[in-house]
Chain A
Amino acid sequence: MPKQEPNERVKNFNEVALGYSEEMALREASRCLQCKSPQCITGCPVEVPIPEFINCILQKDYLGGIATIKTRNALPAVCGRVCPQEEQCQKGCVLGKKGKPVNIGRLERFLADWERTHECHVPECAPPTGRRVAVIGAGPAGLTAAADLVRLGHAVTLFEALHVGGGVLSYGIPEFRLPKAIVKGEVEFVRRLGVDVRLGNLIGRIHTVPELLQQGYDAVFIGTGAGLPQYLNVPGENLGGIYSANEFLIRVNLMKAYDFPESDTPIRIGKHVVVIGGGNVAMDCARSSMRLGAKVCLNYRRSRDELPARKEEIENAEEEGLVCKYLCAPVEFYGDEKGWVREMRCACMELTEPDAKGRRGVKPIACSDFAEPVDTVIVAIGQTPNPFIQRTTEGLDVDPRTGIIRVDASGRTSLEGVYAGGDVATGAATVISAMGAGKRAAKAMHEYMMGRPPKGARS
């Protein structure tokens, strides 16, 4: 797929991948073997009928193609961009055994982008069931659950704490990977399905889950994600110039600090930026920093082989000039007289034997510390769920260490009528796995609600 050239794109926040032309899409679609038992569908967490929509592309029935995707996936423009297809649908593709798998993600994106510039397909909803559902969090899990539930005929209220919908798609994933206009379009689609979207409403503070149930909601879905930043807990971490990945990305993406002073929220970025971490969030921070004009070094405590980030993202970042330093971790930060970070001391690490899950641990090498000058540090070592709902919902079974809400396979929590899915129930994971969880929970919630009279009728 055509991309912006590295030396060009590192100067702007425009989308890196430019998308297929119609000709390219048709050529790629023609490679699909239309298997009898398609493994690509099995690999997709929301089971999109992939060969069917690819066939629609071949017939140039783009509206039919997008409608096919939307039977299973309410956010194709997002998934076509940020899903790790190489580990999901494309992993099972028969063509991939001997060569390159069909590029399913790019075809999905082609259809979604086609729809954005053509007619919009709004599916029919089932007749009203008389049941009311509260969905908390307008991120991937919540948007998916809300879309599925409203289509099943339930009255859905979607509560979002921030002033825009999309959750991590808006505040976390950068513009150059996922343009915010697309996220806005996907949220708008869910609204057009009939979901009542309430922005600026932090459940757990303004209302609690028990209050929602008392207010007559028949069921509640919690999809509040993992928004609480983790810190290193080393001395000097509260100096100026040390951002959590969340702070950095919220400033840059959600509040558009790259446009300051045109936008109101600033970001101060120095000349020597160090990003701590090795996941997709760390890559997003590093690539954003480069676009703000900084030289960036990524410090990861394991080695390159253990980097948890998507391969495509690592390659993109390296093409753009990212320098990585492996097997080191910060132990202390030092500041200047104004309280701004100026130096960082790191310890060298060594890998230990793999644990039961096959993941290698690390331990510091004695007397290996070294210091280096820095003026901006971005700590991207993970996020855990925000605790507001967990703290205000009595009887909700929560892992006390991580704040993760415990659920069964269909998203059921320990409280009747209360479901959860996405990062809040798994810890930080992918957009599509959150969508899959939203989908499964929506199905279970539908069955639960239809098995009993609506609250509205009872009161």
Chain B
Amino acid sequence: MIVIAREGGERVPLTICGCDSAKGTVSFAFHEVGKTTKELGTFEEGESLVNVTGPLGNPSDIRSFGRVLVVGGSIMIAPAVLQAREMKRAGNDVTLVLGCRSEEFLFMRDEAAASSDRVIVSSDDGSIGVKGLGFLTDMLAKERFDRCVVLGPIVMMKRVSELTKPYGIPTVVTVTPIMIDGMGMCGVCRVSVGGRTKFGCMDGPEFDGHLVDFDELVKRQRTMLPEERLSSMLWEKNRGCEHGRNEG
């Protein structure tokens, strides 16, 4: 989905992590890291966003595969839980890995348990669950998986894809590059997949993790970092808002 928070604001891409057609709601999770996400964090119940366009991008491939490993990291835990739930509903045996920086960044643990057959928590500093993703090496050596789905930071998606490759496990990653229109017009979201340029918005957001050029993706993600920092700092200065994490 592309969201514009306030009049004159930027267009930011957010990943859908649930919807309720009876209530007419769509939910998404965001991490307050830049100006717009910080601004979104200040919204009160009942306030309106200027524009929400979506769903854009291709639908996820949810079918009966057999044993599915879903790995969600950081804020992308939220859509990973949704993927796990849908994979389970499609008849798969689902193992869900929740990766976070440290204990305080872990969320949706109960939902995760209800959406999968097994939950494994992993943190970078070992403050909760197992430390790091090293355990996957053993797990993949011992257990057979028919499909792996990874949603999270680029480094995590790269690491998991590298681990599943020797076992030939089809691995789907969800890329979240910079986007503006989100409908195939600007091309800022270009991703090299198997040597061919794809658009994250139009051809993705899911790609074969064994073919994605993650190093290029990281560099492209960082191209506007100084400007993003400036924007965020100015916003903080003007509004003096608190840091934190939010679910919406």
Q: Which residue of B lies closest to A260 (CB)?
A: B227
Q: A225-248: which have CB < 8 Å to B? A: 227-229, 231, 233, 237-241, 243-244, 246-247
CA distance A229 to B188 in the complex (A): 10
Given contacts A238-B220, A261-B231, contact A386 B185 (CB under 8 A): yes
Contact with A along B133-153 (1 / 0, CB 8 A): 000000000000000000000
In the complex, the answer to whether A247 meets B53 with C-beta atoms within 8 Å is no
In the complex, the answer to whether B224 meets A268 with C-beta atoms within 8 Å is yes
Partner of B219, one of A200, A231, A240: A240
Q: Which residue of B lies closest to A259 (CB)?
A: B8
Task: Confirm or deny: B114 has a beta carbon within 8 angstroms of a beta carbon on chain A.
Answer: no
* Neighbouring B residues of A247 by C-beta, 8 Å: 180, 186-188
Partner of B231, one of A206, A238, A264: A264
In the complex, the answer to whether A246 meets B53 with C-beta atoms within 8 Å is no
CA distance A263 to B219 in the complex (A): 24
| Residues of A within 8 A of B (CB-CB), count | 41
CA distance A340 to B220 in the complex (A): 9
Q: Which residue of A lies closest to B230 (CB)?
A: A261
Partner of B223, one of A228, A240, A260: A240
CA distance A265 to B4 in the complex (A): 11
In the complex, the answer to whether B53 meets A339 with C-beta atoms within 8 Å is no
Partner of B54, one of A206, A228, A229: A206
In the complex, the answer to whether A264 meets B35 with C-beta atoms within 8 Å is yes
CA distance A246 to B219 in the complex (A): 21
B interface, CB within 8 angstroms of A:
2, 4, 8-11, 35-36, 50-57, 180-181, 183-188, 190, 192, 197, 202, 216, 219-220, 222-224, 227-228, 230-231, 234
* Neighbouring A residues of B186 by C-beta, 8 Å: 229, 244, 246-247, 250-251
CA distance A85 to B230 in the complex (A): 44
Question: What distance in Å separates the Cβ of A67 from its nearest Cβ neighbour in chain B?
Answer: 33
Question: What distance in Å separates the Cβ of B207 from its nearest Cβ neighbour in chain A?
Answer: 14
Contact with B along A198-239 (1 / 0, CB 8 A): 011110011000000000000000000001110101000111
Task: Confirm or deny: A255 has a beta carbon within 8 angstroms of a beta carbon on chain B.
Answer: yes
In the complex, the answer to whether A339 meets B185 with C-beta atoms within 8 Å is no
Q: From B36, B55, B227, name the one whose CB has the most chain A CB atoms within 10 angstroms.
A: B227
In the complex, the answer to whether A163 meets B53 with C-beta atoms within 8 Å is yes
* Neighbouring B residues of A388 by C-beta, 8 Å: 183-184, 202
Task: Confirm or deny: A171 has a beta carbon within 8 angstroms of a beta carbon on chain B.
Answer: yes
* Neighbouring B residues of A323 by C-beta, 8 Å: none
In the complex, the answer to whether A161 meets B231 with C-beta atoms within 8 Å is no
Q: A329-380: which have CB < 8 Å to B? A: 338-340
* Neighbouring A residues of B57 by C-beta, 8 Å: 205
13 contacts between A and B (CB under 8 A): A163-B51, A200-B52, A205-B57, A243-B188, A246-B187, A260-B227, A261-B231, A264-B35, A264-B231, A339-B216, A339-B222, A339-B223, A388-B183
Q: Which residue of A lies closest to B56 (CB)?
A: A205
In the complex, the answer to whether B197 meets A231 with C-beta atoms within 8 Å is yes
In the complex, the answer to whether A263 meets B8 with C-beta atoms within 8 Å is yes
* Neighbouring A residues of B50 by C-beta, 8 Å: 163
CA distance A246 to B188 in the complex (A): 9
Given contacts A261-B230, A386-B183, A388-B184, contact A202 B11 (CB under 8 A): no
In the complex, the answer to whether A231 meets B184 with C-beta atoms within 8 Å is no
A interface, CB within 8 angstroms of B:
161-163, 171, 199-202, 205-206, 227-229, 231, 233, 237-241, 243-244, 246-247, 250-251, 255-256, 260-261, 263-266, 268, 338-340, 386-388
Q: Which residue of A lies closest to B59 (CB)?
A: A205
In the complex, the answer to whether B223 meets A340 with C-beta atoms within 8 Å is yes
Given contacts A241-B223, A263-B8, contact A227 B184 (CB under 8 A): yes
Partner of A268, one of B183, B190, B197, B223: B223
In the complex, the answer to whether A200 meets B53 with C-beta atoms within 8 Å is yes
In the complex, the answer to whether B10 meets A205 with C-beta atoms within 8 Å is no
In the complex, the answer to whether B234 meets A261 with C-beta atoms within 8 Å is yes
In the complex, the answer to whether A386 meets B184 with C-beta atoms within 8 Å is yes
Q: Given A162-B181, A231-B197, 17 more contacts at CB 8 Å?
A: A200-B52, A229-B187, A233-B197, A237-B197, A238-B220, A247-B180, A250-B186, A255-B10, A255-B180, A261-B230, A265-B10, A266-B224, A266-B227, A268-B227, A386-B183, A386-B185, A388-B183
* Neighbouring B residues of A229 by C-beta, 8 Å: 185-187
CA distance A202 to B56 in the complex (A): 8
CA distance A161 to B8 in the complex (A): 17
In the complex, the answer to whether A250 meets B216 with C-beta atoms within 8 Å is no
* Neighbouring B residues of A205 by C-beta, 8 Å: 54-57, 183
Question: What distance in Å separates the Cβ of A239 from its nearest Cβ neighbour in chain B?
Answer: 8
Given contacts A163-B50, A237-B197, contact A339 B219 (CB under 8 A): yes
Question: What distance in Å separates the Cβ of A180 from its nearest Cβ neighbour in chain B?
Answer: 12
In the complex, the answer to whether A246 meets B223 with C-beta atoms within 8 Å is no
* Neighbouring B residues of A255 by C-beta, 8 Å: 10-11, 180
Partner of A238, one of B4, B192, B222: B192
Question: What distance in Å separates the Cβ of B69 from its nearest Cβ neighbour in chain A?
Answer: 29
* Neighbouring B residues of A266 by C-beta, 8 Å: 224, 227-228, 231
CA distance A199 to B11 in the complex (A): 14
* Neighbouring A residues of B234 by C-beta, 8 Å: 261
Q: Which residue of A lies closest to B180 (CB)?
A: A250
* Neighbouring B residues of A241 by C-beta, 8 Å: 223
Q: Which 10 A-B pairs have the closest CB atoms?
A: A339-B219, A266-B227, A264-B10, A247-B186, A240-B223, A200-B53, A163-B51, A227-B185, A244-B187, A265-B10
* Neighbouring A residues of B2 by C-beta, 8 Å: 200
In the complex, the answer to whether B185 meets A265 with C-beta atoms within 8 Å is no
Q: Which residue of B lies closest to A229 (CB)?
A: B187
Q: Which residue of A lies closest to B223 (CB)?
A: A240
In the complex, the answer to whether B53 meets A201 with C-beta atoms within 8 Å is yes
Question: What distance in Å separates the Cβ of A219 from its nearest Cβ neighbour in chain B?
Answer: 24
* Neighbouring B residues of A264 by C-beta, 8 Å: 8-10, 35-36, 231
